[in-house]
């Protein structure tokens, strides 16, 4: 027993228990015995969470243990709230903020858009539902790995093949891990294979003639565009499900903003910032933009 009394951990435990006892005495006049109710909804959630994790239903013994754990968690949670342990905790703030936004999203989802609303949203945002430019093209590359001046090499070759059938040029240039001939390729795939913004130059090129050099991360390309399909609206019937998803997202976002603006009316925001670090124009910007620029 004497050895136990000398252990630092034992002293720490005593201090902790003492703090809880003092807190209980101080707050005794503010609290009464409370009731924790475990109903069917609670048990169903416990079972669903277990099944999602373990891909099976819990046994009776496991379920009993889970319910007891749930009760223990609820008691600690309620006591933590009484002691204001949730205050100034960034993780808790973020999680509760997310839950509030989930609630507003649930409200928005109750108003399911009809077909006319989905079609109207599609028409109002048609620029978001355009297909990409697509190309049938041939390319010859002079790589930075094989030439001291690949751009000059490409220019010289361009003069030699300006009138040549592109199909006859397959063995020219350097061999690289992408094809000489692209039968049908869109902008995203070209940029993925040849680097960002490669297709910016293709938009300026006329079809059925050798052009270049166009630079990529691999070197300098000579390009022959055999066919180009311009960007066009994707038919509504082909993407109705995508449009519905986007409309629901916009509705949820608007609902979040509306609810936030209503909550915001109940608060007065003051700024007490170091004037040596932040000038008056910065504070004015915050005041004018605090609501409009808050997202998610």
- For the chain, the structural domain boundaries read 1-32, 35-87, 91-129+233-270, 131-229
pLDDT of residue 33: 55
Give yes or no for a cis peptide into 213 (omega within 30° of 0). yes
Q: Is the pTM of this model over 0.85?
A: no
Beta bridge partners of 221: 141, 214
Cβ count near 236 (within 10 Å): 14
Evaluate whether 182 touches 190 at the Cβ level (below 8 Å): yes
pLDDT band at 69; cut points 50, 70, 90: confident
pLDDT at residue 89 is higher than 80: yes
pLDDT band at 82; cut points 50, 70, 90: confident
Q: What is the DSSP string of 37-87?
A: ---HHHHHHHHHHHHHHHSSPPPHHHHHHHHHHHHHHHHHHHHHHHTTTTT
pLDDT at residue 24 is higher than 70: no
185, 85, 103: which is closest to 139 by C-alpha?
A: 185
pLDDT at residue 131 is higher than 50: yes
Judged by average pLDDT, the poorest of 9-18, 91-100, 183-192, 261-270 is 9-18
pLDDT at residue 8 is higher than 80: no
Evaluate whether 211 touches 221 at the Cβ level (below 8 Å): no
Tens of pLDDT along 40-52?
888 888 889 999 9
pLDDT band at 31; cut points 50, 70, 90: very low
Position of tokens 């082909």?
A: 238
pLDDT > 90 in the chain, percent: 30
pLDDT at residue 247 is higher than 90: yes
Task: For residue 210, give the H/E element and its range.
Answer: strand 210-215
Listed in sequence order, the residues at least 6 apart from 172 whose beta carbon sits closer than 8 Å to its beta carbon are 140, 157, 161
Listed in sequence order, the residues at least 6 apart from 182 whose beta carbon sits closer than 8 Å to its beta carbon are 135, 136, 137, 138, 139, 190
Which CATH code of 3.10.50.40, 3.40.50.620, 1.10.10.60, 3.40.605.10 fits the domain covering 131-229?
3.10.50.40
pLDDT band at 296; cut points 50, 70, 90: very low
Exposed / middle / buried, residue 122 (Cβ in 10 Å: 0-12, 13-18, 19+): buried
């Amino acid at each position: 027993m004497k050895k136990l009394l000398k252990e630092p951990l034992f002293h720490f435990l005593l201090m902790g228990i003492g703090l809880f006892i003092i807190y209980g005495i101080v707050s005794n006049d503010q609290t009464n015995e409370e009731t924790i109710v475990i109903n069917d909804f609670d048990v169903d959630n416990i079972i669903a969470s277990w099944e999602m994790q373990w891909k099976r239903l819990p046994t009776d013994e496991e379920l009993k243990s889970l319910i007891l754990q749930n009760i223990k968690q609820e008691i600690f949670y309620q006591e933590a709230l009484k002691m204001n342990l949730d205050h100034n905790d960034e993780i808790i703030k973020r999680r509760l903020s997310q839950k509030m936004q989930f609630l507003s999203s649930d409200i928005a989802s109750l108003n399911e858009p009809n077909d006319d609303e989905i079609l109207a949203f599609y028409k109002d945002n048609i620029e978001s539902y355009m297909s990409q430019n697509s190309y049938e093209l041939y390319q010859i590359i002079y790589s930075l790995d094989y030439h001291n001046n690949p751009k000059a090499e490409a220019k010289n070759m361009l003069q030699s093949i300006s009138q040549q059938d592109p199909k006859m040029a397959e063995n020219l240039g350097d061999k690289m891990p992408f094809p000489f001939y692209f039968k049908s390729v869109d902008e995203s795939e070209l940029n993925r294979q040849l680097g960002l913004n490669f297709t910016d130059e293709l938009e300026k090129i006329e079809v059925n003639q050798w052009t270049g050099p166009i630079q990529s991360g691999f070197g300098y390309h000579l390009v022959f565009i055999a066919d180009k399909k311009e960007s066009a609206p994707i038919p509504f019937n082909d993407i109705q499900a995508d449009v519905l998803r986007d409309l629901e997202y916009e509705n949820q976002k608007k609902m979040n903003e509306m609810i936030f603006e209503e909550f915001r009316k109940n608060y007065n925001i003051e700024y007490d910032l170091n004037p040596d670090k932040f000038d008056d124009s910065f504070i004015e910007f915050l005041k004018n933009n605090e609501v409009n620029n808050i997202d998610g």
